[in-house]
């Protein structure tokens, strides 16, 4: 396996436990490539990679880069001062960004890159599931673990490689896919891109990297995606669109939402889609119906049968951390979700309301990145106002240094609910007990954010079970 003609050899991944990096590690291991790596803390992902044959270190140190290492791969969260990166440069080893390694493992396959500000993981997962149902057996790399397989990557035997493409730092410009999907384009990752215009421009650059013989599937409902599609057409690329707009090539009609999922009518080029007029995606939310349409249209453009694709979508079981049910205690259901942009938060809370039925929706939200908190505090507040009770944690810094005065209070102050229903709780250890105190039977409780808020779900379930009036846990 090569990059720019050079063999990768033994690959060491710094940040191997991350969603994107662990997927690359899985594929390299499946192909017999020696793999080592490190992560800041232990995890089930690290344990799974060890079981597959990787050497995984917990903690970062120069000595982790063994004498047999030939190539080092770094995730976007790893800084140049990391001792393993410093050691790699000292020894003159190639240091690749994650996307360059992804491009290497995609080489030789018909690559389909799924991009967009929101919905990438779910759309990628749906397309993989749909292709598998057709017997296509794609290789894939997803930013989350598929429910059921508990894997975020696989080296299928088919000719297609489906990959989630990351726009956060522009690294998806290292990919040159046969085809791509753009679900939407909104302002985000302004710490990297600077402005909303710059975000739009980087997506235009991305679609110009698609193979001239390939295609782009793009949302007809999202203004940013429409702009991107126009740039693709100007470059001479075949563009197909989906959405509820009348202009969409694949149009969703008669969308029916319920707590168990969404059903919609598929109209292709003005006529009901042969053999698949009605599509059922068994996860709630209108946004998930749109993601399923993107997956269906991409599958059709790849030449797969509509009946097989829709059957696969109908069996879609979801992805970890995408409205994932973590347990139920005393009539309170606890879910966890990765939403970390105002648009995502609002979409998921609308879906949660469907699932909650007559119960209330309580959310514990952890802002992700200081830069995103500053840029979108008011928008986060408005989105969180769709819940009945809101607890806001402090900012999860990730790759950023703390910024004085920028805390989760900015978001909490912007939530348009009565003061007794909104709380900023900077003490993470107090969150589970506070949520349990507020919850009552019939409620839906949601932990939300891209940081370590996901680890709170077991604590919340324990806190619910510890209440005197609540029966034991059912998990």
State whether 153 and 199 are in the same domain: yes
Average the pLDDT over 289-298 and give the result.
96
Q: Which of 291, 314, 337 marks a domain boundary? A: 314
Q: What is the pLDDT of residue 187?
A: 62
Per-residue pLDDT band for 334 (boundaries 50, 70, 90) equals very high
3-state secondary structure 266-333: EEECCEECCCCCEEEECCCCHHHHHHHHHHHHHHHHCCCCHHHHHHHHHCCCCECCCCEEEEEECCEE
Domain that holds residue 384: 324-474
State whether 38 and 130 are in the same domain: no
Domain assignment present for residue 103? The answer is no
Percent of the chain with pLDDT over 70: 95
State whether 244 and 113 are in the same domain: yes
Domain assignment present for residue 203? The answer is yes
Q: What is the pLDDT of residue 63?
A: 96
Q: Which of 269, 291, 314 marks a domain boundary? A: 314
State whether 414 and 350 are in the same domain: yes
Note the pLDDT tens digit of each residue in 170-184: 678 888 999 999 999
Residues belonging to the active site: 120-121, 164
Q: What is the pLDDT of residue 353?
A: 93
Q: What is the pLDDT of residue 194?
A: 63
Q: Please give the residue that has the higher pLDDT: either 190 or 440.
A: 440
Q: Is the pLDDT of residue 472 over 70?
A: no
Q: Which of 98, 119, 142 marks a domain boundary? A: 98
Q: To the nearest whole number, what is the mean pLDDT of the chain?
A: 90
Asked if 178 contacts 298 with a C-beta cutoff of 8 angstroms, the reply is no
Domain assignment present for residue 319? The answer is no
Q: Tell which phi-psi region holds residue 199, choosing left (phi > 0), alpha (psi between -120 and 50) or beta.
A: alpha
| The CA-based dihedral angle spanning residues 459, 462, 467, 472, taken in that order and rounded to the nearest 10 degrees | 160
Domain assignment present for residue 180? The answer is yes
Average the pLDDT over 236-263 and give the result.
94
State whether 157 and 300 are in the same domain: yes
State whether 457 and 378 are in the same domain: yes
Instruction: List phi, psi (to 5°) of 264.
Output: -150, 155
Q: Is the pLDDT of residue 204 over 90?
A: yes
- CB-count burial class (<10 Å; 0-12, 13-18, 19+) for 62: middle
Would strands 35-39 and 95-97 be described as parallel, antiparallel, or unpaired? unpaired
Q: What is the pLDDT of residue 274?
A: 86
State whether 338 and 416 are in the same domain: yes
CATH number at 331 reads: 3.90.190.20
CATH number at 152 reads: 3.40.1190.10
State whether 133 and 223 are in the same domain: yes
Q: Pick from 137, 189, 191, 143: which is nearest to 168 by CA?
A: 189
Q: How many domains in the chain? A: 3
CATH number at 73 reads: 3.40.50.720
Number of H helices and number of E strands within the chain? Answer: 15, 25
Domain assignment present for residue 12? The answer is yes
> What pTM does this model have?
0.86
Note the pLDDT tens digit of each residue in 76-129: 778 889 999 999 999 999 999 988 999 999 999 999 999 998 888 899 999 999
State whether 8 and 137 are in the same domain: no
State whether 78 and 172 are in the same domain: no
Per-residue pLDDT band for 144 (boundaries 50, 70, 90) equals confident
State whether 20 and 126 are in the same domain: no
Supply 347's token pair: 């979409």
Q: What is the pLDDT of residue 432?
A: 93
Domain assignment present for residue 221? The answer is yes
Domain assignment present for residue 338? The answer is yes
State whether 113 and 226 are in the same domain: yes
Q: Is the pLDDT of residue 242 over 60?
A: yes
State the residue for tokens 């690559």.
Answer: 111
Domain assignment present for residue 466? The answer is yes
The DSSP 8-state label assigned to residue 73 in this structure reads E
């Amino acid at each position: 396996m090569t990059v720019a003609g050079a063999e990768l050899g033994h690959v060491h991944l710094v940040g191997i436990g991350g969603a994107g990096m662990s997927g690359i590690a899985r594929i390299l291991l499946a192909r017999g490539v020696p793999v080592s790596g490190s992560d800041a803390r232990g995890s089930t992902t690290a344990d799974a990679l060890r079981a597959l044959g990787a050497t995984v270190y917990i903690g970062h140190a120069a000595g982790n880069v063994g004498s047999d290492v030939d190539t080092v791969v770094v995730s976007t969260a790893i800084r140049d001062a990391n001792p393993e990166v410093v050691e790699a440069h000292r020894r003159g080893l190639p240091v690749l960004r994650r996307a360059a390694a992804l491009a290497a493992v995609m080489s030789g396959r018909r690559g389909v890159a799924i991009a967009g500000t929101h919905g990438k993981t779910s759309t990628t997962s749906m397309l993989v599931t749909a292709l598998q149902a057709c017997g296509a057996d794609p290789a894939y790399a997803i930013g989350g673990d598929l429910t059921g397989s508990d894997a975020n990557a696989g080296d299928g035997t088919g000719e297609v490689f489906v990959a989630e493409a990351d726009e956060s730092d522009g690294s998806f410009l290292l990919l040159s896919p046969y085809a791509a999907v753009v679900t939407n384009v909104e302002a985000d990752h302004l710490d990297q891109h600077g402005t909303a215009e710059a975000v739009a421009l980087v997506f235009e650059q991305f679609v110009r990297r698609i193979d001239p013989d390939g295609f782009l599937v793009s949302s007809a409902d999202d203004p940013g995606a429409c702009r991107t599609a126009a740039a693709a057409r100007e470059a001479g690329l075949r563009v197909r669109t989906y959405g509820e707009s009348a202009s969409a090539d694949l149009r969703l009609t008669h969308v029916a939402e319920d707590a168990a999922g969404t059903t919609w009518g598929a109209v292709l080029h003005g006529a009901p889609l042969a053999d698949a007029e009605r599509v059922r995606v068994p996860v709630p939310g209108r946004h998930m119906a749109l993601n399923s349409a993107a997956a269906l249209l991409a599958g059709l453009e790849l030449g797969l049968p509509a009946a097989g694709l829709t059957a696969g979508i109908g069996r879609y079981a979801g992805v970890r951390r995408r409205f994932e049910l973590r347990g139920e205690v005393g009539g309170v259901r606890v879910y966890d979700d990765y939403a970390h942009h105002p648009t995502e938060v609002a979409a998921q809370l609308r879906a949660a309301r469907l699932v909650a039925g007559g119960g209330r929706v309580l959310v514990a939200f952890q802002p992700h990145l200081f830069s995103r908190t500053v840029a979108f505090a008011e928008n986060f507040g408005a989105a969180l106002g769709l819940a009945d009770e809101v607890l806001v944690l402090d900012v999860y810094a990730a790759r950023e240094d703390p910024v004085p005065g920028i805390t989760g209070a900015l978001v909490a102050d912007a939530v348009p609910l009565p003061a007794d229903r909104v709380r900023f709780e900077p003490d993470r250890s107090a969150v589970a007990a506070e949520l349990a105190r507020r919850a009552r039977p019939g409620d839906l409780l949601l932990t939300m954010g891209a940081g370590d808020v996901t680890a709170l779900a077991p604590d919340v379930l324990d806190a619910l079970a510890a209440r005197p009036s609540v029966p034991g846990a059912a998990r």
